[in-house]
Structures are given as C-alpha cells and as structure tokens.
C-alpha cells in the first residue's frame, strides 16, 4: 500500500507533505533490505527507500525492531541445519546457499548496514514521550499501556 501511494503520477505535488513524515520500517521489510528473503525483495525495498528519500521523507526503525531482527537471524543460525526447520527466511537462505558464517557477519554488521541505507534508529521511549506530549497538547485522553491493561482487566471482572 505504501509503495502504491508513493508511486503515483503526481509525486511533485505531495513532496512538501512528506518532508515532515517519518516512515518506520518493520522487521519483514528490513529482512528484505538485508537480502535474506530474496533479491527481488531486496531490490524492492531499496527502491522504496529511494522513493521516500526522493520525496524528502525520513526512514526510521525502532531499536526494538533491530533486536527482533537479531533474534530472527540468531534463530535461523540455530536451526538452519535442521531439516524440519521451515520459514520464509530459512527457505531463502537455503535456496541461496547462505552459510552460517555469512549470518554471523550480517549480525556483526547489522547496525552499519541499516545506517548505510539512511535509516535512523529511534527508541520506543522517545516515540512514546513525543506522542504523549502531542496527546496532552491537543487534550486527547491518553492512558499508558499498564493502566489501560489494568482498566481492561477490571472491566472483564
């Protein structure tokens, strides 16, 4: 959906609007960028990043997403030799004969590979604080997750 919105015939008219927009990429998209789910997926992700940059948008990732990627890659490293292990990442890695040593190297270079593609890392805490301030400024009721969960539990009881 995002790619379709960006690849529209009238890109120049929306350029001003995207200069204040941050695009947060999730684990599957970054795995595509890191070329562990296939070359076509990697190329599509690179093209998406170029489009966002061309439109002056900011490309970002949460720090917990990077942790998630590390966990995925470590899980693949542990299970790649198990014939019963399945999943899109394992299938692609086997298909392209990626070695365990390549995955170790990828894990070591992960932060650099993300930043060299112009993606900045944001902490979840910063994001939460920023939006709590916006909620308060606009008088939108905000309830922290812990309070919300306690509230929901009390309603069910």
- Segment 54-87, tens digit of pLDDT: 989 999 999 989 999 999 999 999 998 898 988 8
C-alpha to C-alpha distance for 76 and 80, rounded to whole angstroms = 5
Q: Does residue 60 belong to any structural domain of this protein?
A: yes
Give the residue numbers spanning the domain of 115: 18-122
In a domain, 150, yes or no: no
**With 50 as the cut, is the pLDDT of residue 110 above it?**
yes
Check residues 109 and 18 and name the one with the higher pLDDT: 109
Indicate the burial class of 44 (C-beta count within 10 angstroms; 0-12, 13-18, 19 or more).
middle
Q: Is residue 114 part of a domain?
A: yes
Q: Rounded to two decimals, what is the model's pTM?
A: 0.69
Q: How far apart are CA 80 and CA 130, in angstroms?
A: 40
Q: Is residue 109 assigned to a domain?
A: yes
Bin 8: left if φ > 0, else alpha if -120 < ψ < 50, else beta.
beta
Q: What pLDDT sits at residue 38?
A: 82
Give 19's pLDDT tier (boundaries 50, 70, 90): confident
Per the listing, tokens 């019963």 go with 84
The C-alpha atoms of residue 7 and residue 47 are separated, in whole angstroms, by 10
> Which 3 state secondary structure label does DSSP give 85?
coil
pLDDT of residue 126: 55
Q: Report the CATH number that the domain containing residue 29 is assigned in CATH.
A: 3.40.50
């Amino acid at each position: 959906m995002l790619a379709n919105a960006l690849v529209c015939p009238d890109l120049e008219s929306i350029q001003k609007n995207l200069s204040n927009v941050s695009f947060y990429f999730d684990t599957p998209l970054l795995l595509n960028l890191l070329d562990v789910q296939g070359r076509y997926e990697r190329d599509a992700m690179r093209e998406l990043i170029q489009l966002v940059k061309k439109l002056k948008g900011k490309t970002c990732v949460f720090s917990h997403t990077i942790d998630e990627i590390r966990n995925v890659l470590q899980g693949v490293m542990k299970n790649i030799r198990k014939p019963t292990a399945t999943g899109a990442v394992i299938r692609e890695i086997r298909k392209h004969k990626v070695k365990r040593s390549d995955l170790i190297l990828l894990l070591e270079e992960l932060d650099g590979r993300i930043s060299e593609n112009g993606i900045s890392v944001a902490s979840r805490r910063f994001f939460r604080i920023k939006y709590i301030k916006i909620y308060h400024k606009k008088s939108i009721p905000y309830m922290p997750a812990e309070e919300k969960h306690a509230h929901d539990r009390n309603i069910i009881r």
